[in-house]
Amino acid sequence: MGAYRSIGRRVILRTALGAAAAVLGAGVFAGPAAADGTVTVASWGGSYQKAQSLALFGPAAKAMGITVKEETYGGMSDVRLKVKAGAVAWDIVSSGSGSAARAAAEGLLEKLDFSVIDVSTFYPTLKTDYCVGSDVFSTVLAWNTATYGDNGPKSWADFWDVKKFPGKRAYRAGVAGALEPALMADGVPADKVYEVLSSEGGIKRAVDKIRELKPHIAVWWKSGAQHAQLMKDGEVDMTTGWNGRFDVAAKDGAKVAYTFNQALLDYDCFAIPKGAPNKDLAMKFIAEMSKPKIQANLPLHITYGPTNKKAYELGTIDDKLARAMPSHPDNAKLQLPIDLDWYAKYEQAAAAMYQDMLTE
């Protein structure tokens, strides 16, 4: 996914999920008029997409009187294939910020019209010319409380310390959010991580650090649903992953806790694939989902924060919940914000080195 993806301890309510199940099964939300157009949105499925459906897609479709059809997809690699084949069927895709930055550099996305999409009250940096922030999240270090109780690992150095914290690890199969923890585990201060990654040998240093831990990594996870399920099943003792997914898993009975210390502060965004069949309506739909009233719904369904600052002023998000969010100042100060410029420049080379390490 990958962020800053950031944010609380309230999670998707069982009853709300049950009510949404039938709608999600059909993959369609219709507004009252439902005759003025249809947009097709692709996201990543699981608890995350259910939260988007309840908080963003459904309310925005209702407000506009249109129909929104939902699909799941595998990320920007799927967009690349469709764009190159001239067969784009999605109007909007939900993407990690880094993946969107790279896709934009490849010419795979439409430029957004910010005369239509109002981002004047967004947090700074949560948009680019080609994607607009949909939520803020954190990539955190999580552990199995059945294994470690409340005394689990609290830093990436602990994650790498197999003597102090013996047990099975899980780690991301993709490079996004994988190299930064390795460098912090290797002693690099958070504010120097991207400087090191940009230097000669920096990426290799991070990959070598992960190679060092590789014998203890039982699972290389590929999705948020997967890393949450690993903790629900007790299959691993610690893992990296997205805070909201772990909160959902904990609500469902998983023995899981996590820390914001040294987490990666990230955000997800909405983007329009190049050649989207309903580009103009998609732009308006993103604009609707970006409004404070709709953004304020999100933390009520999953612990990711709104990107629109005014959402916090409506009284919908209570203070206790707000303070549990990754983007709350008390939590944000513990974290490393993802550097999109680094990903746009180096992700392709880093991904190749990372995959070489995985297949050794």
Q: Please give the chain's pLDDT, 360 residues, in tens.
A: 443 333 333 333 323 333 333 334 436 665 544 446 999 999 999 889 999 999 999 999 999 999 999 999 999 999 999 999 999 999 999 999 988 988 998 999 999 999 999 999 998 778 999 999 999 999 999 999 999 998 999 999 999 999 999 999 999 999 999 999 999 999 999 999 999 999 999 999 999 999 999 999 999 999 988 999 999 999 999 999 999 899 989 999 999 999 999 999 999 999 999 999 999 999 999 999 999 999 999 999 988 889 898 998 898 888 888 888 887 878 888 999 888 889 888 988 999 999 999 999
336-337 and 67-72 beta bridge pairing: unpaired
Residues 303/243, Cβ–Cβ less than 8 Å: yes
Structure tokens at 12: 């998707």
Structure tokens at 352: 């190749």
Residues 236/218, Cβ–Cβ less than 8 Å: yes
Residue 144 has phi, psi (to 5 degrees) of: -85, 115
Residues 134/183, Cβ–Cβ less than 8 Å: no
The domains located in the chain, with CATH, are 14-136+267-332 (3.40.190.10), 137-266+336-358 (3.40.190.10)
Compute the CA torsion angle 307, 310, 312, 313 (nearest 10 deg).
180
d(CA 20, CA 60) in angstroms, rounded, equals 15
In 3D, which of 126, 139, 137 has the Cα closest to residue 6? Answer: 137
Query: What pTM does this model have?
Result: 0.75
